[in-house]
Amino acid sequence: MRNTKIAPSILAADFANLQRDIEMVNASQADWFHIDIMDGVFVPNISFGMPVLDAIRKHAQKTIDVHLMIVDPDRYIKVFKDLGANVLTVHYEACTHLHRTLQAIKAEGMRAGVALNPHTSVSLLEDVIQDIDLVCIMSVNPGFGGQSFIENTYDKVKKLKQLIIEKGASTIIEIDGGVTSGNAKQLVDAGADVLVAGSFVFNAQDQLGTIADLKKLTCS
Ligand SMILES: O=C(CO)[C@H](O)[C@H](O)COP(=O)(O)O
């Protein structure tokens, strides 16, 4: 029996009712909170910053998975640790010294993640995979919620899973972007361990039921 993690993306929450949405995730079968930090430089959008994450952290009762879509992420590793991040993911494309960045994240007691843009090959992680706790495969171009899933993602997940097995690594695979009940099972069958779902969850009439359905579909 699989134990796929479902991580609602707070980017898609209703910010006028943020506390209500956080309580919904707390009460749901979701496993993680996925928090998207965007700087307007690495991606063409600005999400929110430290004060909002601090407010989320005060109410969130599950693992906090922070995805940094920012340039120069090394500058903020300690800050995000202090803001309650359990998993801290940086972009491959934003790191000149990725190995060093991963060690710095782990030295702060967080799990270290690496996100790959759709054009970035999983083979580029060959020499560093054993140092990565989580790889986040972007299944949309980062910057906005509500985009369509890129079909090539299934092949990337399979290739990455193969690399992880070959290298004897314990890395888990997360998928971020356009996740729905229509692709969730196929993603897990390809090798995904964590599914980030934003608009599919927060635009649903029955949000708790939608999360429960995703969990049921992917854990059988
Ligand atoms: O951050 C994103 C892109 O940068 C993601 O798309 C977001 O985390 C999930 O939203 P959705 O499920 O609506 O695609």
What percent of the chain lies above the pLDDT cut of 70?
100
In a mutational test of the pocket of ligand 1, which residue from 9, 48, 136, 181 has the highest number of ligand atoms less than 8 Å from its CB? 9
Q: What is the pLDDT of residue 40?
A: 98
pTM exceeding the 0.95 threshold for the entire prediction: yes
Q: Whose CA is nearest to atom 12 of ligand 1?
A: 198
Q: Give the rounded distance of the alpha carbon of 39 from its chain centre.
A: 17
Q: CB burial class (10 A; 0-12, 13-18, 19+) of residue 23?
A: middle
By annotation, the residues acting in catalysis are 36, 176
Binding region for a divalent metal cation: 34, 36, 67, 176
**Among candidate residues 177, 117, 142, 139, the one with its CA nearest the CA of residue 41:** 142
The CA 205 to ligand 1 mean position distance, Å, reads: 19
Give dist(CA 161, CA 169) in Å, integer.
Answer: 10
pLDDT tens for residues 64-75?
A: 999 999 999 999
124 Cα: distance to centroid of ligand 1 (angstroms): 23
Is the complex ipTM more than 0.85? Answer: yes
Residue predicted with more confidence, 220 or 153: 153
What b/e readout covers 147-165, taking b as 16+ CB neighbours within 10 angstroms?
eebbeebbebbebbbebbe
Average pLDDT value for residue range 51-62 = 96
Average pLDDT estimate for 62-86: 98
In the chain, % of residues over pLDDT 90? 99
Residue 1 has pLDDT above 90, yes or no: no
pLDDT tens for each residue of 142-175 = 999 999 999 999 999 999 999 999 999 999 999 9
Average pLDDT over residues 90-115: 98
Are the C-beta atoms of residues 200 and 180 closer than 8 Å to each other? yes
Q: Could you identify the atom of ligand 1 that is nearest to the CA of residue 43?
A: 4
Average pLDDT, whole number, for the chain?
97
Taking 80 as the threshold, does the pLDDT of residue 118 lie above it? yes
* 201 CB-near residues (< 8 Å, 6+ apart): 8, 9, 12, 207, 210, 211, 214
Domains annotated on the chain, with CATH? 5-219 (3.20.20.70)
Cα gap 128→130, rounded to integer Å: 6
- The number of the ligand 1 atom at minimal distance from the alpha carbon of 143 is 4
